[in-house]
Chains A and B, each alone.
Chain A
Amino acid sequence: MSPHSAHTAHSIQAASRQLEGPLLEVTDLRTHFRTERGLVRSVDGVSFTLDRGRSLGIVGESGSGKTVLSRSIMGLLPKRNTERSGSVKFEGREVIDLPLADRRKIWGREMSMIFQDPMTSLNPVMRIGKQIGEGLRLHLGMSKEDARATSLHLLREVRIPEPEKRLDQYAFELSGGMRQRVMIALAMSCGPTLLFADEPTTALDVTVQAQILELIGVQKRERNMSLILVTHDLGVVAGHTDDIMVMYGGRMVEKAPTNVLFASMKMPYTEALLKSIPKIEDPSHTRLSVIPGRPPDLVNPPPGCSFAPRCSFAQDRCRTEVPPLITAEHPDHVYACWYPVGSPSHRARTAELAAAMSGAH
């Protein structure tokens, strides 16, 4: 059996599976870690659905729970000292409490993940070809030769120069960008239906970042995969995902289709995130706006809205009552804020702040 026919066989099999309904359905997912300080509520009741072939960007600061959320969905977190509850349905099947042996069959084959730092996420003492081929042999039962041939094919697909040579090289002999391409080839190898990319470009050179995002996008389209792109950079997801979900303090605080979000964001936090990205059209030496304060303590979260202590628009209600998710004008746009951007009270406060700023000068 040639490596190509192995791939085709797999895609046929994939196509014969149940295709109705969303690919991924996450309901009230909670992931808490028991630590000496107390229970860390890294993911605290997140619900969303992801359709086939769609891409979702999860945005938030460090400590917002975005990475834990993606690993929790995949079931990759160690069991010890971890409490997970809620529901994760993948292709209609509940996967949250699958035993390890069954989760392993999903990992790499149905869901796979590209990690943040390509410098450390490849095995330093195993040849590249073997690392890519491992999944192929494991999940698709390929022979050594077929796995090697397919690995070569995958390396070509991710456009690595001199792919034949790379097969027998080690990670340290490759540049960061090439390593991340290898990671992508590795994650794609068994034709997963859902790909997680956890800050795939954060550790890379700016010039390489765009290429890697482009490559992930191309692969996603060609393979009709669903993609969850986790990042702290709203600018990264802007051009690369259909929907955006903003996380803060372990909760989803806003979610909308990308264009809707940028046109009418409701959460002051989302707005603040956007303002913290430097803009090319700004004159040079423009002061970047930063979000004051630190992400909330996930052991003792503040009462009410967890962003309230850092929010310029927070009022008394924000500090006592947790805002529920409210649907905006667009039916797919939800947000959790008592005084969203554009509301009368928000507008009044904006004017106040502007006045204070000009007064200060």
Chain B
Amino acid sequence: MRYVIRKLAQTMFVVVVVTFVTAVALRFLPGGNDVIVGLKAGPGATKEQAQQVIKDLGLDKSIPSQYFKWVKDFITGNWGLTFQTNETIASALKRAVPVSAYLMVYAQLVALGLAVPTAVWSAYKQNSRFDRAATTSAFGMLSVPNFIVAPVLVLLFSVQRKWIPFPATYHSLWDSPIEHFKAFVLPTVTIAIPLYAGYMRVLRADMIGTLQSDFITTARAKGVSTPALLFKHALRPSLFSIVTSAAVQIGALMGGVVIVETFFTLNGMGRLTVESIFRHEYPTVQYCVVVLALVYVFTNFLVDLAYAWIDPRVRVSRALG
């Protein structure tokens, strides 16, 4: 219980700090309110129209009072409209969050699903041909940037083969799953490639260490089969680094992989954030930051749980602390 309260307090603190910093930082963007006025009232706006826009949006108030108004709106659920479009901020987020969430989950599943067995086998057969192929290819995957991978994939699967439409439009998973996956497969692969490579390398390194432990010899001397040896005995104690890096990636991916989202015309968090910054949509950016902070805090919580599951010693130290 104390743990939960501590976590909640921590979350609150993080959210307040990051949103306030964002709020202040955004005012220093070049152009300032002129950009908003220009976009909202049009280039030929009169001085009165401009004054009106500024007054409507509350931009004439001081930065702290704007921030407190935003906090009040946030808490009361009165999130309001975005500055330029007449879309509510809530609906903009509702559109962007699932796209990013799907992309993040798919990329993680693909990357982890491939990295774990490859790393385990690579570590077991260290320096074998398989291992060398796996480590070399992982190194290659880490060094190719995603703005190269994405067009190559499109060229192969959308232009040459025409298997996947490009640009694909977003469909909900429940309404039309096939279209949904068609829209997500290429961006997922693009993101998953470097993820896979990173995971595969950290897990392989940890596995090699674990496989040299005495308790692995004990398990072998018991007559345990190789798969049981690898997956029941060696894998779990080797998971710390990969869990940590996967958690970091959850946040990074939720924050949006702007290049990939833009290239594949997916309206995820990355694009929403970047475009809102360009349009000086202060409140929207602040909401995006809130979402991100919550995701980070939540993943942190999951990681704590994962550590406790992996290693019973963590449970004890937590119970004592």
Could you tell me which A residues sit within 8 Å of B by CB distance?
74, 76, 100, 104-109, 112-113, 115-117, 120-126, 134-135, 138-139, 170, 172-173, 183, 186
Contact = CB atoms under 8 A, between A and B. Distances in A.
B136 interface: no
B225 interface: yes
A113 B221 contact: yes
Contacts of A134: 219, 222, 224
Shortest beta-carbon contacts, A-B, top 4:
A107-B223, A108-B223, A120-B214, A121-B214
A328 to B, nearest CB: 35
Contact of B236 (A108, A112, A125, A139): A125
A186 B223 contact: no
B124 to A, nearest CB: 10
B311 A76 contact: no
Interface string B197-239: 0000000000000000111011111111110000011001100
Contact of B218 (A100, A173, A186): A186
B161 interface: no
Contact of A76 (B220, B224, B226): B220
A105 B224 CA distance: 9
Contacts of B316: 172-173
B222 A126 contact: no
A245 B232 CA distance: 38
Nearest to A135: B222
Nearest to B126: A80
Contacts of A124: 215, 237, 311-313
Contacts of A122: 215, 218
Nearest to A183: B218
Interface string B237-269: 100000000000000000000000000000000
A170 B313 CA distance: 9
A125 B315 CA distance: 11
Which of B214, B236, B237, B310 is packed against the most chain A CB atoms within 10 Å? B214
28 contacts: A74-B221, A104-B223, A104-B225, A105-B223, A106-B223, A107-B222, A108-B221, A108-B223, A112-B221, A115-B221, A116-B214, A117-B214, A120-B213, A121-B217, A121-B218, A122-B215, A123-B237, A124-B313, A125-B237, A125-B311, A126-B232, A134-B222, A138-B222, A138-B224, A172-B313, A172-B316, A173-B316, A186-B218
Contacts of B310: 125
Nearest to A103: B223
Contacts of B312: 124-125, 170, 172
A120 B212 CA distance: 11
B116 to A, nearest CB: 17
Nearest to B311: A125
Contacts of B313: 124, 170, 172
A123 B219 contact: yes
Given A124-B237, A124-B313, A112 B215 contact: no
B223 A109 contact: yes
A135 B223 contact: yes
Contacts of A183: 218
B223, B233, B312, B316 interface centre (most CB from chain A within 10 Å): B223
Nearest to B226: A100
Contact of A107 (B213, B214, B220, B237): B220
Nearest to B312: A170
A91 to B, nearest CB: 17
B102 to A, nearest CB: 33
Q: Which of B218, B220, B222, B224 has the most CB of A within 10 A?
A: B222
A38 B232 CA distance: 36
A112 B311 contact: no
Contacts of B224: 104, 134, 138
Of the candidates A116, A122, A123, the one having the most CB atoms from chain B within 10 angstroms of its own CB is A123
Contacts of B222: 107-108, 112, 134-135, 138, 186
A139 B316 CA distance: 33
Contacts of B213: 120
A308 to B, nearest CB: 34
Contact of A115 (B214, B225, B232): B214
B223 A138 contact: yes
Given A117-B214, A120-B214, A125-B237, A107 B221 contact: yes
Given A116-B214, A126-B233, A134-B224, 20 more contacts: A100-B226, A104-B223, A104-B225, A107-B223, A108-B221, A109-B223, A112-B222, A113-B221, A115-B217, A120-B213, A121-B214, A121-B217, A121-B218, A122-B218, A123-B218, A123-B233, A125-B236, A134-B219, A134-B222, A138-B223
